[in-house]
Structure 1
Amino acid sequence: MLANYPLSKTEEAFFRDSDIEKITTKIPYLAVDNFPKLGLLTACRFLEWVSTNPEGVISLPTGKTPEYFIKWTKFLLENWEEKKGLDIRKKYGLIDCSKPVLKDLHFVQIDEFYPISSAQNNSFHHYVNKFYIEGFGLDPQKALLINCDEITLSEGKSYKEVFPDSKVDLTLRFREYKTPQEKLQQDSIYLIDQWCGQYEAKIREKGGIGFFVGGIGPDGHIAFNTRGSDIFSTTRLTETNFETQAVAAGDLGGIEISANRLVITIGLDTIVHNPDAVAIIIAAGEAKAGIVKQSLELSMTNVYPATVLQKLKNGRFFITKGAASKLTDSTDQYYFTGEWNDTKTERAVLDLCKKLQRYGHRITLEDLKEDKYTSQIPGLNENTVKNVIKSISDKIDRGMSEEKNEVFLHTGPHHDDISLGILPQITKQLHENSNEAHFAVLTSGFTAVTNTFVIETLRSAKKFLDNGRIQMVKFEDFYSSGYKLKMDKDVYHYLTNVASDNAEERLRGLCHRLVRAIVFTFGIKSTLQLREQINEIITVLKNSYDGEKNPKNIQTLKGMIREFEEELVWAHFGVQVKNVHHLRLGFYTGDIFTEQPDKKRDVEPILNMLREIKPTKLSLTLDPEGSGPDTHYKVLQATAEAIRQWSLEEDLSNFKVIGYRNVWFKFDAAESNVIVPVSLGDMSVMEDSFSNCYMSQVNASFPSYAHNGKFSTLAKNTWVDQLSDVQLLLGKNYFYQHQSAKVRSSHGLIFFREMEVEDFLIEARELEKSTEGML
């Protein structure tokens, strides 16, 4: 039980508020319902600690994870004696605390990219100053910060002179230099190492860190202490691994940048140096569940850096239920408490097949009775596994059923979400002439388009203009209205040259659409003005640092590139441009903390689309919880509200919501109710359409940490893995001997959930509660 650990009043209150019954992990944890409440828990514990340590040493995280921690901290300080603040303080153990004063705290910056200018908005130095020093009213004179501009290098030179390409070769620590520039770099690396040692010494002079909050990376990294970091490591300049680079790509403008950028980070021993330190790791969402399980349940090891918190009596994990979902404690609680249902039976049997690596028909009654989870199945008997096999088989039958006379509206938060989630299901729907299909991407998606891609495409457009190969600009009405016409022709031209394998003509097709987008976005009135505008955009982008937020009109231009890509994908199946809808919801701004969806700005466009299209089935990404400040979650809330309002106007008794997931979150076979067989042909269509159409994404500038390559390959791998799981239950012969050719040809499976409107709204409502009454 958590009660065996020294608990603060706040921790006791949140523990009582949770439904956790036992904790057996090597580091204690508190689990809350959702991401915003995780921020509240962390803020309460922080303010509780500060109230008794007003001059303590704190180290707080950067990035998107602390969003609600920062918001709740400021909210509570501003409403300490107001009813809203008092109610929270009474509930969560802060009622006896005097109002904390933050100005005398000593702040320690956790980490920083190297090299990076402190003036850049995507530097952690800038983040710390904006959200903590200024935002919390801390004293900058009492802050230890990592400012790359101020770290002394050889001959007093700047890092731009010493490392002109921003690449630091750490082999120079150990080998002889070969050129005068390498000598300069070698001496500078030694000076950076010396600076890191001094930074560590200053932290220890303060007695070490008293209150630490950090996120956890997909590889388990804490600060930038990646997998394999020495448990006794201190502040240092170091390299990162692929998973960390993939996560950092969003900050730095692409993995091309993050893969070549080093980091300065405090060490694992820095974090635990003070034996009385409160050290908290925060994690949200099912995507973190695996690494949370390993970090909490394994003995201390350099393979999982967070295990170092076992050294501290006040080491904690604060996590959402999604992040806790794979813990043995959570699994036990899932099976041993609450009402038993068919989903539990299916999941227990499927998991037993994986555990024993045995096909379902070979699982005996004795096996079921010996397993601690399947033994809980009510009325356990010889037919238990057979019933599960039939249930999963029925889901596959449902996935092969023909859908006719339907109006489909497939939606996604980002471009490529729909394709990566359920493309094989959609191709089947599109082959039926009685169906009508629409596709809607709800955000602009401009952050996924790199400056380099835009610059190269603009330069190509200039060449085509110079050679007279963008002929539409010569038409009299082009700059007044003609630029809006023949969008389908751009698409057809591009795809024709995919078929003929003519790369230059494909590029010309892209440049045609880019020219239309520039004319639309910037109000261009002549070819001369068009050329000047192209040059100006190139200049702006060349003078921007990687990862810098673009001006709004360039954001729009980047978004229109993504929109063209989406139109190309669905044109593979004859879908016209008018049936591909681009909503560009306003909450999506490119800021580190985006706004919550606004009912007028973000809900009305979806509602109006529903009124116009009148779909009978709508698909959307159904993420498991409010797992962070992510677009998926916010789009889901806006869509749910639009459907709720539409349900007040229309009879939706025959309307269905299809909840799918893709490479970020995954259903298992038990929680889905439709399973779609995927053939090699389906996989090839998805891979080819992704590679040929999502031009800005093919080089995977912003890859998933789970795969160093295209998202389409990761989606395919997911489908294959899902087949493997189900094959263990049904047996391989079920597939290759099936009466249906579709099943016989399947080498992957897609899971999704089809819901009635009311069921969907109830589920969405539970997620929406996570941000109510806040801020």
Structure 2
Amino acid sequence: MKNDISKLSEVEKAFVAQSMLKESSTKIPYVVVDNFPKLGLFTALRFLEWVAQNPEGVISLPTGKTPEFFIKWTKYLLKNWNEKDVVAIREKSGLKGVKKPELSGLHFVQIDEFYPIGSHQHNSFYNYVVNFYIENFGLDREKALLINCDEIPLAQGMTFNEVFPDGKVDLSLRYREAATPTEKIQQESVFLIDQWCSDYEQKIREKGGIGFFLGGIGPDGHIAFNVRGSDLFSVTRLTETNFETQAVAAGDLGGIEISANRLVITIGLETITYNKEVTAIIIAAGEAKAEVVKQSLEQPMSNIYPASVLAKSPNSRFYLTEGAATKLNDYVDYNYKNGEWTHAKSEKAVINLCKNINKYGHRLLLEDLKEDKYTSMIPGVSEKTPETVVSSIKEKISNGLRVEKNQRFLFTGPHHDDILLGVLPFISQHIQEESNKFNFAVLTSGFNAVTNTFVIQCLKDTKVLLDKEDIQMVKYADFFESGYKFKWDKDVYHYVTSLAGNDKYQMNRGLCHRVVRALVETYAVKDESDLRDKINEVLTILKNSYDGEKNPPAVQKIKGMIREFEEELVWAHFGVPVKDITHNRLGFYKGDIFTEQPEKNRDVAPLLEMIKKVDPTVISLAFDPEGSGPDTHYKVLQATAEALRELKKEKDISEMRVWGYRNVWFKFTPDEANVIVPVSLGEMASMDRIFENCYLSQVDASFPSFELNGKFSTLSQKIWVNQLQNVQLLLGKDYFYQNKNPKLRSAHGLIFVKEMSVDEFLGHARELEKSAEGDINLD
């Protein structure tokens, strides 16, 4: 079924005209745009188009990071409606001649909220809605239906802190007898919350239901907090979530330890579709969402894919970036059928055929190739076709086996642990070559990944060691004036030497040494007494903070410096000194809900200076041109690309190579990579041990991936093994375990890398930079 373009709005028609895909064959129509920022512009224009037609309509808008550019573009367009640049945007996008919409007549409905959570907390969705929608958009608060946990009635007029002092709500009290007086109060409170939810649902229906719904989609396919398995006729309710949702919420709530025990109040799937004319839009960006988007759009309506319920609503749409659309049948068809047929297409088609029919490459028959939709498109397809693909994949593996010499490597990562999780085995085969020079750079502070609980324990341990006089450097006469600046390598060497001897006490002592240096640098500590005061001050701040609260800048710096110490420990395993590890702490990373866009003077300039100083022949980076992982990744990519553009103006860097790697957030397919690195079981074990012994703040996996309830190092290993299995189906198992090369015989995983020239890399990054703002300052 092809969608009838006459049913699309004028804005949608305009963006379909700009899209590579002009039609969609799914029950729910979708529109594909180039990238994340453009997705925000498209969504903002469609929203304002709807508001112009429904000035007193009922709207429900999303929270979290997904709507960042929707919010920025909406505010910008309204503020500059009749300015030249916005008029040009409107004319191009189907809003020519439309009068500036007035938002004050709209009725807002909050989609969901954690329960319990204080409405004053910056990480509550109530606070988000008030700040980013009610006040930012100029909505009428009196016309809004909001979920304020502080105002939901509970037994005996008590607060949720009194009824649920540990933040845990036991929903089994709905169905069983209360065993204690406390449980009786909790049981009564649960029923009162249930009644409040029913009343909330009724108020939405009294408004006629939601007229414009905009939502993201979770890794399990959830919309609002209607997780996988939710009833397609569900209404507003207090409910539990699943692991995938808890993992995504961990960043908001201060760790999986909190989100795993926190319930949610959410509108239901029936709430969203109650109004038969609802304009319901799901936005999704990045390849990480590709599989769940495919299932939601191409599978029959099912509670396994909650977003599929929107098929009931004729005005429902999915707005997608190209990355999020990559697995859709329409998109795959388009890419095979259009443009020049490349060898990469042949690789993808043959490898996928092996996987789809579970057949080794050397056993593929000509009839297999001709019967398959995509391999049959290969020009001159013959029984020799699999051999050409096998040969090219083997060549990529050969590239991954090479040991380069006389190179100056600069490995960069958006966050700490990105480099290790992405390409450690590739690094380890080059780093022992004496003619190579290595520098490492982590571009953001990474303080968001350190829990308050971890820092509290570090500070307590530091106090104990001070009491024992086991941090002797504080006794040196000049330590607090200048001595703390020296011998940072000594902390690292002390730790790794103690690690070699399995001396946990001395390892912790090395960490506490670094914590002391961080405190002295951050607070300009005067003496040992002042040091103890600062420790107590930070402890007080952290103990009095709610879970997920944004820390003061000084505490953020302490957390970031702990992460920096962890990164230094990793590369100390290979003899890399502290001076060869750069901690850039780019200024756009501030721990806000929306990280700022990189700026030339603040963010690009220091990267340019670092690159000039190192003068690398090879620079590596997390290659995420669409923001499939955390938004920090593609913003770091923007800043790095801009630094290289500036460097090109000063000197010839045509010989410089760029190694793009991917890790736990997003993956290459074999056809996208041109370097395939075999990974042995020993190298996997080494990576896991290094992660566990160095990234101390991450071992408990407080902020896990939705793909695995555990350490990122375990997930990396799982990905590497899966990548080998896909290639192994093409090449055959005997290619590996019977190979003459011991490196290949020992391979139980593969890493994919994309080697590019600088110009090729900038070609990938340029469109993102251009579309993010161009000459328009959205802030």
Same fold (TM > 0.5): yes
One-letter code aligned to 2:60 = S
| Distance in 2, Cα, partners of 1:608 & 1:69 | 34
Aligned-partner residue type, residue 679 of structure 2: V
For 1:308 and 1:208, the matched residues in 2 are separated by: 16
Q: Which amino acid is the alignment partner of residue 471 of structure 1?
A: Q
The residue identity in structure 2 corresponding to 1:63 is: G
How far apart, in 2, do the equivalents of 1:504 and 1:198 lie?
A: 57
Q: Aligned to 1:648, what secondary structure does the other structure show?
A: helix
2:504 is aligned to 503
Relative to structure 1, the CA distance from residue 289 to residue 69 in structure 2 (aligned partners, 3 Å threshold; closer, same or farther) is: same
2:232 corresponds to which residue? 231
SS in 2 for 1:452: helix
- In structure 2, give the amino acid aligned to 1:238: T
Give, as a single letter, the amino acid of the residue that structure 2 aligns with 1:498: L
Q: Give the 5 Å matches for 1:384-399.
A: 384-399=385-400
1:374 lines up with 2:375 in the alignment: yes
2:82 aligned residue: 81
Match in the other structure for 2:488: 487
Contact 1:626–1:770, Cα closer than 8 Å, also in 2: no
**In structure 2, the residue corresponding to 1:112 is in which secondary structure?**
strand
- Per-residue deviation, 1:303: 0.5
- SS of residue paired to 2:440: strand
Provide Cα deviations, 1:146-185, integer angstroms capped at 9, x if missing partner: 0000000000000000000001011111111111111110
Structure 1 residue 4: deviation in Å?
A: 5.3
Structure 2 residue 528 is matched with structure 1 residue 512:
no
Q: Is the 8 A contact 1:322 1:624 kept in 2?
A: no
- Give the structure 2 partner of residue 208 of structure 1: 209
Deviations 1:58-111 (A, max 9, x none): 000001111111111111111211111111111111114222110011000000
In 2, Cα distance between equivalents of 1:453 and 1:386: 53
Give the direction of change, closer, same or farther, for the CA distance of 1:142–1:83 in structure 2 (3 Å limit). same
Q: Quick check: 2:628–2:666 contact (8 Å CA) kept in 1? A: no
> What is the CA distance between 1:194 and its match in structure 2?
0.4
Please give the secondary structure, in 1, of the residue aligned with 2:753. Answer: strand
Tell me how far apart the structure 2 counterparts of residues 201 and 651 of structure 1 sit (CA, whole Å).
67
- The one-letter code of the counterpart of 2:508 is L
The aligned residue for residue 523 of structure 2 is 522
Q: Is the 8 A contact 2:410 2:441 kept in 1?
A: yes
Which residue pairs with 2:55 in the alignment? 54
Query: How much does 1:21 deviate?
Result: 3.7
Whether the 8 Å contact between 1:35 and 1:627 is mirrored in structure 2 is no
Q: Distance in 1 between matches of 2:764 and 2:89?
A: 26
Conservation of the 8 A alpha-carbon contact between 1:360 and 1:730? yes
Find the counterpart in structure 2 of residue 477 from structure 1. Answer: 478
Q: Larger deviation: 31-40 or 643-652? A: 643-652
| TM-aligned CA deviation for residue 624 of structure 1 | 4.0
Secondary structure of 1:464 counterpart:
helix
Structure 1 residue 628, shift from structure 2 partner: 7.9
Q: CA deviation at 1:646?
A: 1.6
Q: Distance in 2 between matches of 1:215 and 1:570?
A: 38
Task: Please name the residue that 2:711 is paired with.
Answer: 710
Alignment of 1:586-665 (within 5 A): 586-627=587-628, 630-665=631-666
Which AA in structure 2 matches 1:491? V
In structure 1, C-alpha distance between the alignment counterparts of 2:767 and 2:85, rounded to whole Å: 22
- Shift of residue 56, structure 1, vs aligned partner: 0.6
Give the whole-Å Cα distance in 1 for the aligned partners of 2:653 and 2:141.
58
Superimposed CA distance per residue, residues 171-230 of structure 1 (whole angstroms, 9 cap, x where no aligned partner): 111111111111110000000000000000000000000000010000001000000000
8 Å contact kept, 1:597–1:637: yes
Q: What is the aligned partner in structure 1 of residue 328 from structure 2?
A: 327
User: Is 1:188 the equivalent of 2:192?
Assistant: no
Q: Take 2:622 and 2:664, find their aligned partners in 1: how far apart are those partners?
A: 11
C-alpha contact (below 8 Å) 1:285/1:624 kept by paired residues: no
1:629 to partner: Cα distance? 7.0
Deviates more, 1:8-17 or 1:210-219: 8-17
Residue 729 of structure 1 aligns with which residue?
730
The answer to whether the 8 A contact 2:56-2:107 is kept is: yes
What is the CA distance between 1:5 and its match in structure 2? Answer: 6.1
What are the equivalent positions in structure 2 for 1:449-488 lying under 5 Å apart? 449-488=450-489
Shift of 1:22: 3.1
AA aligned to 1:362 is R
**In structure 2, distance between residues paired with 1:307 and 1:25:** 11
- Is 2:564–2:583's contact at 8 Å kept on the other side of the alignment? yes
CA distance in structure 1 between the aligned counterparts of 2:291 and 2:654, rounded to whole angstroms = 39
Q: How far has the Cα of 1:385 moved from its partner?
A: 0.7
Tell me what 2:69 maps to: 68
SS where residue 667 of structure 1 aligns? coil
Q: Contact 2:463 / 2:532 at 8 angstroms: preserved in 1?
A: yes
Alignment correspondent of 1:698: 699
- Asked if 1:426 is matched to 2:427, the reply is yes
Alignment correspondent of 2:584: 583
- 2:401 matched residue in structure 1: 400
Distance 1:566 1:628, change over 3 A: closer
Residue identity in the other structure for 1:20: L
Q: Which runs of 4+ in 1 moved over 3 A?
A: 626-629
Would you say the 8 A contact 2:494–2:507 is kept in 1? yes
The letter for the 2-side match of 1:226 is V
Where does 1:133-282 land on structure 2 (aligned, <5 Å)?
133-282=134-283
Mapped to 1, the partners of 2:23 and 2:140 lie a distance apart of 41
Q: How many residues are matched?
A: 775
- Counterpart CA distance in 2 for 1:214 and 1:643 is 36
Amino acid in the other structure paired with 2:555: I
Contact 2:288-2:629 at 8 Å conserved across structures: no
Which secondary structure does the structure 1 equivalent of 2:756 belong to?
strand
CA separation of 1:101 and 1:241: change in aligned 2, threshold 3 A: same
Q: Distance in 1 between matches of 2:648 and 2:585?
A: 23
Contact 2:346 2:389 in 1 (8 A): yes
- Which amino acid is 1:481 matched to? S
2:548 paired residue number: 547
Per-residue CA deviations over 1:419-438 (Å, capped at 9, x if unaligned) read: 00000000111111111101
Q: Distance in 1 between matches of 2:190 and 2:403?
A: 65
- Could you tell me which residue of structure 1 aligns to residue 313 of structure 2? 312
Q: Read off the aligned partner of 1:553 and give its amino acid letter.
A: A
Equivalent in the alignment of 1:679: 680
SS of residue paired to 1:623: coil
Q: Is the 8 A contact 1:26 1:298 kept in 2?
A: no
Distance in 2, Cα, partners of 1:354 & 1:648:
46
1:109 aligns with 2:110: yes
Indicate if the aligned counterparts of 1:286 and 1:624 stay in contact, CA closer than 8 A: no
Shift of 1:647: 2.3
C-alpha distance in 2 between matches for 1:159 and 1:626: 38
What is the Cα deviation at residue 390 of structure 1?
0.4
State the TM-score, normalizing by the size of structure 2: 0.99
Match of residue 566 from structure 2: 565
Asked if residue 97 in structure 1 is aligned to residue 98 in structure 2, the reply is yes
Whether the 8 Å CA contact 1:35–1:628 is kept in 2: the answer is: no
Q: Which runs of 5+ in 1 are unaligned?
A: none
Distance 2:58 2:141 in 1: 13
Inter-CA distance 300–245: structure 2 relative to 1 (3 Å threshold): same
Match for 2:674: what amino acid? N
Equivalent position of 1:300 in the other structure: 301
Q: Which runs of 5+ in 2 are unaligned?
A: none
- 1:593 is displaced (CA, Å) by 1.2
Alignment check: 8 A CA contact 1:399 1:675 kept: yes
8 Å contact 1:301–1:308 — kept in the other structure? yes
Please provide the CA RMSD for this pair.
Answer: 1.0
Secondary structure in 2 matching 1:149: helix
Structure 2 CA distance, aligned partners of 1:628 and 1:359?
A: 32
Matched residue, 1:362: 363
Alpha-carbon distance in structure 2 between the residues aligned to 1:489 and 1:78: 55
Task: Report if the CA contact (8 A) 2:625-2:765 is conserved.
Answer: no
Show CA shifts across 1:439-490 (max 9, x none).
0000000000011100111001000000111111001111111111111111
Q: In the TM superposition, what are the counterparts of 1:33-48 in structure 2 within 5 Å?
A: 33-48=34-49
Give the SS at the match of 2:7: coil
Identity over aligned pairs, percent = 65
Counterpart CA distance in 2 for 1:649 and 1:10 is 43
User: Cα distance, 1:626 vs. partner?
Assistant: 4.3
The answer to whether structure 1 residue 448 and structure 2 residue 449 are counterparts is yes
- Cα distance in 2 for partners of 1:297, 1:639 equals 37
Counterpart of 1:145 in 2: which secondary structure? Answer: coil
In structure 2, relative to structure 1, the CA distance for the partners of 1:56 and 1:629 (3 Å cut) is farther
TM-score by length of structure 1 reads 0.99
**Deviation, structure 1 residue 627:** 4.8
